Amino acid sequence: MKVLDWVADGQARLRRAVDALPPDAVTEPSALPGWTRGHLLTHLARNADALVNLLTWARTGIPTPMYASPDQRATDIEAGAGRPLAEQRADVRESAERFRKAAEALSDDDWSATVTSGQGREIPASEVPWLRAREVWIHLVDLRVGVGMDVLPPDLAWALVRDVAGWMTARVAPGTGVELSAEGHGSLTLGTGPVGATVSGPPHALAAWLTGRGTAEDLHVTGELPDIPTWL
């Protein structure tokens, strides 16, 4: 599965970035408002474990939600954010390994099992690796370690564009239509209305704009862009 390769590559890059941090970096701000790097690293580790729950559900047929309660995600992040960097490094590495082993344990049939995402959406287990790949690569950028969205593999960046544009389509103003295109990857329409603007550029720049990690200044725009909602 190609997406699992994206996960593995992203995890390796994340591990190298975390290994290079000085000890006091864990208390410094990440790019996410109100979160230190410690919050972000804890979130990445707990996200891996939460997605392992979904893979376990797919393999065993026993419903195993990502989190035991609606508050568990936030509680776990706050509880782990202040840990020393050495502990955070080990947690990121070991949780990634648990995800890898859980994915390897699934049979071909298991990947078609239905599980429920953290947003309450029923999805096939085959979508779970994408949820992890998306999380790892985007938050690698959010760590503020000198890594930008241009490190995303082009195919992954375009998959992210499709994902986010699909989410936004039901949330932009009625009658809105924006054509997004990237050379070598095709085009798609954000919104359901007639196309009133076009945006083109490399996949990573489109993904950066849609996810709030870049601006339209790095893209070629024709027409007037609508306001787009804040993504997740």
Per-residue pLDDT tens for 120-132? 899 999 999 999 9
Give me 175's structure tokens.
């009658």
**21 vs 227, more confident:** 21
**pLDDT of 167 higher than 70:** yes
Domains in the chain: ranges and CATH: 2-147 (1.20.120.450), 154-223 (3.30.1050.20)
**Closest by CA position to 219, among listed 179, 191, 184, 192:** 179
User: For the chain, what percentages of helix, strand and coil (3-state, to nearest 5) are there?
Assistant: 55, 10, 35
- Over residues 144-169, the mean pLDDT reads 96
Indicate yes or no: pTM above 0.85: yes
Residue 166, judged by CB atoms within 10 A of its CB (0-12, 13-18, 19+), counts as exposed
With a cut of 70, say whether residue 1 has pLDDT above it.
Answer: no
d(Cα 103, Cα 6) in Å, to the nearest integer?
A: 13
| CA dist 40 → 46, 78, 102, 217 (Å) | 10, 10, 23, 28
Q: How confident is the model at residue 29 (pLDDT cuts 50, 70, 90)?
A: very high
Q: State which H helix or E strand residue 13 sits in.
A: helix 2-19
Residue 225: pLDDT band with limits 50, 70, 90: confident
